[in-house]
């Protein structure tokens, strides 16, 4: 049984704890929280379930001293210094917020992995997974690949994180505030890693990458998790990352985040396909994949339990046995074997 600690208990963190409980090879042994209000609480109380005997702490030293094999690191913003300390304490780290495709800039963390004899692995949905691993898997069905696209279309009214939506992503503010928000920088740090993984693996290393950011404003009041978005306030955003070889587009990653598709200017719409992820490969032959299920069927469902957040957490947790078995270092999805989920315990799966 691998011993796991959870770092932060936001939406992804809570879902990760549930995934650890459900995984037959994992055992939750610790939990770090940022909020003083959560300090000293049983993790079950934080999640609103029965108590489980694991007490949350806001003392980093408590977590570093734990006898744990792995940490699921899921704060809002990555802190390389924190991650280095966790690694040097001898704990593998799996995270959805960075380090999807290591580079020379990650040399200090690579040394921390060697010092601790452990592995760091970044993986999620977007970025990570849908924006790099999945397109590359589908590209194996084509030869003479000329273009790869991974794109998300999501109704953000089902994302129950009002502080993130308003203060980080810039929804509900002015277009100028959204353009100056930290979101573009935070996203670009992750999505350009996915771009480089696709470009390098396809054999187009060094292609220049351009970032774009478009904004739509409300034309009438829109109900949202941050309250009413008034006319003129930001109600939709599109971010895109495009790589070209010569004048030819070769890889595109994009997100379309809208507070619904009514009362917007420009009049952006999801179209008849609704919320979805798309993966497109142009080659011989072409491939077009639409992924559903990682977005809620209704806004109310998303506010109760957003499946995209759950899927992100599951991908991290399901990676833990593979990461713990890997040689020390920073490992991308290209370095690990195929990561799989585990069967429902009602099917008779025993905990090991």
Domains along the sequence of the chain with CATH: 2-125+310-347 (3.40.50.720), 133-293 (no CATH)
At 351 the pLDDT is 67
Residue 347 pLDDT class (50, 70, 90 cuts): confident
CA nearest neighbour of 216 among 232, 230, 229, 240: 232
At 349 the pLDDT is 65
**Mean pLDDT value of segment 295-304:** 93
CB–CB of 309/15 below 8 Å? Answer: yes
Distance CA 280, CA 41 (A): 46
pLDDT of 350 strictly over 80: no
At 307 the pLDDT is 96
pLDDT, one tens digit per residue, over 92-112 is 999 999 999 999 999 999 999
Q: How many CA atoms lie within 13 A of 346 on its CB side?
A: 0
Helices 11-22, 307-325: crossing angle, 10 deg rounding: 60
202: CB partners within 8 A, 6+ apart: 136, 139, 145, 148, 250, 251
Q: Which own/partner contact pairs does 42-49 have at CB distance under 8 Å and 24+ positions apart?
A: 43/6, 43/9, 43/17, 46/9, 46/14, 47/9, 47/14, 47/17, 47/18
**Mean pLDDT value of segment 255-284:** 97
pLDDT of 245 strictly over 70: yes
- Measured CA distances, 312 to 119, 142, 235, 274, 293 (Å): 19, 28, 24, 20, 12
pLDDT, one tens digit per residue, over 316-340 is 999 999 999 999 999 999 999 999 9
The three-state secondary structure class of 314 is: helix
CB–CB of 121/337 below 8 Å? Answer: no
pLDDT of 352 strictly over 80: no
pLDDT of 345 strictly over 90: no
**Mean pLDDT value of segment 152-178:** 94
For the chain, the average pLDDT equals 95
- Measured CA distances, 28 to 3, 337, 345 (Å): 6, 24, 17
pLDDT, one tens digit per residue, over 189-231 is 999 999 999 999 999 999 999 999 999 999 999 999 999 999 9
**Mean pLDDT value of segment 155-163:** 93
Residue 346 pLDDT class (50, 70, 90 cuts): confident
Q: Which residues share a beta bridge with 276?
A: 153
The residue ranges of DSSP E strands in 53-199, in sequence order, are 56-57, 70-73, 92-95, 119-122, 143-155
pLDDT, one tens digit per residue, over 106-148 is 999 999 999 999 999 999 999 999 999 999 999 999 999 999 9
CB–CB of 98/73 below 8 Å? Answer: no
**Mean pLDDT value of segment 249-277:** 96
pLDDT, one tens digit per residue, over 166-193 is 998 999 999 999 999 888 888 899 999 9
């Amino acid at each position: 049984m691998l011993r796991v600690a959870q770092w932060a208990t936001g939406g992804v963190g809570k879902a990760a704890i549930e995934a650890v409980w459900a995984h037959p090879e994992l055992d939750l042994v610790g939990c770090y929280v940022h909020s003083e209000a959560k300090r000293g609480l049983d993790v079950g109380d934080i999640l609103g379930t029965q108590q489980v005997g694991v007490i949350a702490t806001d003392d980093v030293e408590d977590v570093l001293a734990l006898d744990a094999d792995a940490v699921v690191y899921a704060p809002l913003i990555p802190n390389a210094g924190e991650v280095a300390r966790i690694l040097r304490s001898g704990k593998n780290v799996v995270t959805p917020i960075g380090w999807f495709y290591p580079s020379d800039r990650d040399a200090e963390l690579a040394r921390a992995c060697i010092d601790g004899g452990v592995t760091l692995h970044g993986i999620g949905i977007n970025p990570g997974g849908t924006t790099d691993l999945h397109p590359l898997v589908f590209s194996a069905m084509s030869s003479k690949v000329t273009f790869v696209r991974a794109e998300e279309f999501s109704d953000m009214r089902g994302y129950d994180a009002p502080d993130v939506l308003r203060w980080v992503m810039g929804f509900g503010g002015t277009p100028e505030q959204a353009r100056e928000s930290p979101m573009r920088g935070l996203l670009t740090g992750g999505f350009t890693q996915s771009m480089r993984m696709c470009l390098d693996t396809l054999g187009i290393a060094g292609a220049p990458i351009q970032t774009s950011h478009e904004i739509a404003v409300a034309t009438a009041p829109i109900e949202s998790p941050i309250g009413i978005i008034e006319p003129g306030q930001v109600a939709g955003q599109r971010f895109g990352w495009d790589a070209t070889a010569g004048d030819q587009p070769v890889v595109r990653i994009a997100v379309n985040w809208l507070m619904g598709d009514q009362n917007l200017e420009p009049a952006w719409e999801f179209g008849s396909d609704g919320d979805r992820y798309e993966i497109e490969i142009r080659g011989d032959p072409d491939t077009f994949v639409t992924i559903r299920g990682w977005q809620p069927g209704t806004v109310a469902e998303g506010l109760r339990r957003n499946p995209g957040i759950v899927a992100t957490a599951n991908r991290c947790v399901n990676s833990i046995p593979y990461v713990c078995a890997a040689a020390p270092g920073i490992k991308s999805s290209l370095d690990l074997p195929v990561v799989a989920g585990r069967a429902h315990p009602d099917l008779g799966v025993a905990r090991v």
